[in-house]
Amino acid sequence: LIYSMLGHIPMLHSIFQFLSLIGIALLVLGFLFQYRICEKKEFIVYCCFFIVAIVTAIYNKNFAFIKLVLFAGSVRYVEMKNIVEFDLKLRAILIILLYVMSLIGFANDEVFYYNGIARHSLGFKNPNALGVAIYILVCDIIFMAGNKINVKHLIVIILIAGWLYSVARCRTAVYAILMLVILVILYKLFPNIYKVKFTKILFISVPFVLSYITYISVKGLINYHPAALELDKLLSTRLSAVATFVVRLKPTIFGQPIGETVAVSMDNAYGFVLYDLGILIAIILLLLTVKAFLKYFKTQNIMLCIIMLSFICYGLSEHLWLFIDYNIFMLAWCPNLVVRDYSTLDYK
């Protein structure tokens, strides 16, 4: 997390890159230590995922899935609540630190303009990176509050969203935060709606629906369909970026380093997973999503279901949350690789 948030600062890049490598080495040791404390079948599962991660990384030169497998395996006996609590404290400190550093000139406050309105990064690489960091901070708050979340929490979250919009104009991050608030309010007012089968099916179907929407929208954009053009405009031309890759590349089983082929940033998570991480990882993530939702609905960890759903919707315009470096909640996609039944934590 420290490297992902501070590593772009020139004077700190080398230091934190070295610390990041040390961290990866420790994760490998932690992963191997699982052989001594877990069942043989479970360790074989770890190794299978790790082998898949290595093979795909060779092709796409992206170490995101390797880090996820290593981290998930290493913290198997650590409660999710403890991990999120640490992330909340560290993330808050780093956000404040970056803001202070931008004020005194140690970090750049990158300013972008959208329709003539300034968007500040406040020390982050860009305003969208700030938006992702704040959004995940809100997820930390919601998860830690659990069933005890109340009006005070929601007021604080809404104020955070208002501040974020005022300084960075991160519309998607703000919309994702508001979505979290609405779903939490529904849960507090009508908790039984999260116990019916239809809600579970609805949550599970969302990633498939959004994947299909991305597909047909990009196809429509290529053919200059008016509806696709309007949706692309609404998403700040993020679908146009996906269309660029669709025209020039084909998705592969193990992925490909798309950044080396096309000089365009693909923010859409669905396009990024398919073209960069590859078809195999895309299928694995979809299956893990289904498995995670089934487990969390069964154990009624509704807050984690809500957080996962918001990330999935956020994926239409942002993919940074897919990286465990940025987003500790990627552990939620590994229900059997972390603590057994951590989703049954009692927040009442």
Contact 220, 226 (CB under 8 A): no
Residue 20 has pLDDT above 50, yes or no: yes
Is pLDDT larger for residue 64 or for residue 338? Answer: 64
Q: For residue 337, what pLDDT is reported?
A: 52
* pLDDT value of position 81: 87
Q: How far apart are CA 183 and CA 208, in angstroms?
A: 20
Residue with tokens 């990627």: 330
Alpha helices in 235-315 (DSSP H): 238-248, 258-261, 269-272, 279-298, 302-314
Q: Would you state the pLDDT for residue 339?
A: 43
Bridge partners of residue 118, in order along the sequence: 113
Q: What is the pLDDT of residues 265-297, one digit of tens each?
A: 889 999 999 999 999 999 999 999 999 999 999
User: Nearest-5° angle of CA 50, CA 277, CA 65?
Assistant: 30
For 263, phi then psi, to 5°, come to -85, 55
* Terminal Cα-to-Cα distance of the chain (whole angstroms): 30
Q: What is the mean pLDDT of residues 135-152?
A: 93
Tabulate helix, strand, coil % of the chain (nearest 5): 75, 0, 25
Interval 29-42: pLDDT, tens: 777 776 666 777 77
For residue 40, what pLDDT is reported? Answer: 75
User: Residue 111 pairs with which residues in a beta bridge?
Assistant: 120
9 or 247, greater pLDDT: 247
Say what angle helices 238-248 and 226-234 make with each other, to 10 degrees.
120
132/176 Cα distance (integer angstroms): 10
Q: Between 274 and 339, name the one with better pLDDT.
A: 274
DSSP state of 273: I
The 10s digit of each residue's pLDDT in 169-186 is 888 999 999 999 999 999
pLDDT bucket at 136, cuts 50 / 70 / 90: very high
Please provide the size of the chain in residues: 348
Mean pLDDT value of segment 148-159: 94
Q: What is the pLDDT of residue 39?
A: 72
Task: Give yes or no for a contact between 226 and 206, defined as CB atoms under 8 angstroms apart.
Answer: no
Structure-block tokens of residue 280: 């195999």
Q: How much is the pLDDT for 269?
A: 95
What's the rounded Cα separation, in Å, for the pair 168 and 211? 28
What pLDDT does residue 165 have? 94
Name every residue whose Cβ is closer than 8 Å to that of residue 162 and which is 6 or more positions away in sequence: none
CB 124 within 8 A of CB 5: yes
Is residue 249 within 8 A of residue 258, CB to CB? The reply is: yes
Distance, C-alpha 274 to centroid of its chain: 16
The pLDDT assigned to 14 comes to: 74
Highest mean pLDDT among 231-235, 254-258, 333-337: 254-258
**How confident is the model at residue 13, as a pLDDT?**
66
Phi, psi of 46 (to 5 degrees): -55, -50
pLDDT of residue 204: 96
Instruction: State residue 1's pLDDT score.
Output: 67
